[in-house]
């Protein structure tokens, strides 16, 4: 069990990792499964687990009883893995800091978690992970648990869920028993998230075709972890699996240089681009690796959208992403596809279109107006009068932002224009979603009186 399941996690850790093991550990997730399922079996399952806590650089057991060493221990602390007595599926609830990995050249969603080690309180930033036990939780339930664990630790609007609550929630729409688990389909996972407080949105590759990868990338760029469904059944296989996409590899300059101009099936937009000789690039089209939380592997696996299961054996290599679920705040009514199309139409067809022969790179993301204004206020490179206007402008809780940049500017993490759109306004006619536009030396505001 150690060689097959635990050691692959350790192989990704830095060589100077120190481990503190605690036996007889009470883990809330396993205990929930134990009392609702395992305790009713004839075979005796133990109630307690083992927890492995990780520190980067040397520690001593005496450090935990020396108050002067606690700040040093916190600096070295890198998370934990719980081993539960459900062999052979023993990897339980885990939070590992990306900084513990030998290679961590990626950007991921991470939340701060509070825990104790040997009586001392610690915090760690990471993304929740667990393997499936195949009986009370499959890959789908594990993905639901992990995404709720992340959001509940980051925002007070959400509550963590245990396996028994996921099962009870889905019993309302299921025509048969939920345990032992046979997995969930995309509609069941979306329903569960909706019941847990999200305004879920399902995207299918068949429906969105060439825009599908860009939409997935846009939500990841917005810092929203998403549930991804992969399978190879349409290619003659028998694999169906759910996992989480939580980030992407850091973008290098050569990847930006390799961007190809944006094309669309929208004939009006295509005609306007050609008539004005405008070349448009989409930041979401950059070919890059994404970071996945996969319950069959250690956390922070990297793979491309074209081959999302490349970290598996050859049997899995022809799997592709067929659906993804975006867990949105319930009041976000303007979703990514409509928001991106609205902004592209606005910047190309007017009322203040781009100049002829322009070459523009657009970077889209969803943000809370509070975080956005905070970032603007702290940005010393931002034009002072525009900064003042943005901070004083009334905005809803969530906004869509399009940074107007170029291939050269984006390499410096800079833009020379911005468009801010109301994420709570689904009616895109008469420029209703527009809050503010600033590009090509012009400031565009919406006058509610004159329209």
Let me know if 27 is exposed, middle or buried by CB neighbors in 10 A (0-12, 13-18, 19+): buried
Residue 450 has pLDDT above 80, yes or no: no
Residue 451 has pLDDT above 80, yes or no: no
Place of tokens 């605690």: 22
pLDDT of 349 reads 87
- Mean of pLDDT over the chain: 93
Cα separation, 326 vs 424, in Å, equals 16
Cα separation, 283 vs 194, in Å, equals 30
238: Cβ contacts below 8 Å, ≥ 6 apart: 232
| Mean pLDDT, rounded, for 209-230 | 95
Query: Is the Cα torsion angle 195, 198, 204, 208 positive or negative in sign?
Result: positive
Give the global pTM.
0.93
Peptide linkage before 88 cis (omega within 30 of 0): yes
Cα separation, 124 vs 75, in Å, equals 10
DSSP bridge pairs for 230 = 241, 321
Instruction: Please name which of 410, 418, 411 lies closest in space to residue 441, comparing C-alpha atoms.
Output: 418
Over residues 245-271, the pLDDT tens digits come to 999 999 999 999 999 999 888 888 889
Residue 396 has pLDDT above 80, yes or no: yes
pLDDT of 78 reads 97
Contact 431, 363 (CB under 8 A): no
Contact 295, 142 (CB under 8 A): yes
221: Cβ contacts below 8 Å, ≥ 6 apart: 248, 283, 284, 363, 364, 365
pLDDT of 165 reads 93
Residue 199 has pLDDT above 80, yes or no: yes
Cα separation, 80 vs 100, in Å, equals 11
pLDDT of 268 reads 87
Residue 430 has pLDDT above 80, yes or no: yes
* Stronger pLDDT, 122 or 451, i.e. the higher one: 122
Over residues 323-336, the pLDDT tens digits come to 999 999 999 999 99
């Amino acid at each position: 069990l150690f060689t097959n399941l635990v050691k692959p996690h350790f192989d990704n850790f830095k060589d100077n990792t120190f481990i503190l093991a605690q036996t007889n550990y009470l883990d809330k997730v396993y205990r929930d499964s134990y009392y609702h399922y395992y305790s009713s079996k004839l075979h005796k399952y133990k109630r307690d687990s083992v927890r492995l806590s990780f520190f980067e650089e040397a520690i001593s057991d005496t450090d935990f009883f020396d108050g002067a060493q606690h700040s040093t221990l916190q600096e070295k602390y890198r998370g934990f893995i719980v081993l539960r007595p459900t062999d052979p599926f023993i990897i339980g609830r885990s939070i590992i800091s990306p900084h513990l990995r030998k290679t961590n050249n990626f950007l991921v969603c991470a939340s701060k978690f509070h825990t104790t080690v040997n009586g001392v309180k610690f915090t760690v930033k990471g993304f929740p992970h667990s393997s499936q036990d195949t009986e009370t939780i499959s890959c789908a339930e594990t993905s639901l648990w992990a995404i709720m664990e992340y959001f509940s630790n980051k925002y007070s609007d959400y509550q963590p869920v245990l396996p028994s609550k996921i099962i009870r929630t889905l019993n309302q729409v299921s025509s048969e028993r939920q345990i032992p688990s046979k997995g969930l389909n995309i509609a069941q996972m979306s329903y569960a998230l909706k019941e847990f407080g999200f305004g879920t949105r399902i995207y299918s590759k068949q429906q969105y075709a060439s825009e599908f990868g860009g939409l997935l990338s846009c939500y990841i760029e917005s810092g929203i972890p998403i549930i991804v469904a992969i399978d190879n059944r349409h290619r003659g296989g028998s694999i169906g699996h759910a996992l989480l996409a939580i980030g992407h590899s850091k973008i290098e300059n050569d990847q930006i240089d390799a961007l190809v101009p944006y094309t669309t099936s929208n004939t009006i937009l295509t005609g306007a681009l050609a008539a004005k000789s405008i070349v448009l690039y989409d930041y979401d089209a950059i070919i890059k690796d994404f970071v996945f939380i996969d319950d069959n592997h250690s956390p922070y696996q990297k793979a491309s959208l074209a081959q999302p299961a490349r970290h598996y054996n050859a049997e899995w290599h022809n799997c592709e992403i067929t659906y993804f679920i975006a867990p949105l705040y319930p009041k976000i009514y303007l979703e990514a596809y409509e928001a991106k199309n609205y902004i592209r139409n606005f910047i190309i067809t007017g009322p203040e279109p781009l100049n002829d022969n322009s070459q523009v790179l657009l970077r889209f993301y969803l943000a809370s107006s509070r975080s956005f204004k905070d970032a603007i206020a702290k940005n010393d490179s931002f034009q002072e009068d525009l900064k003042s206007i943005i901070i004083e402008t009334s905005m809803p809780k969530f906004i869509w932002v399009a940074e107007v940049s170029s291939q050269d500017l984006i390499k410096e993490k800079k833009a020379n224009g911005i468009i801010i759109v109301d994420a709570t306004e689904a009616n895109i006619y008469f420029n209703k979603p527009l809050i503010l536009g600033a590009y090509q030396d012009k400031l565009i505001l919406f006058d509610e009186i004159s329209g």
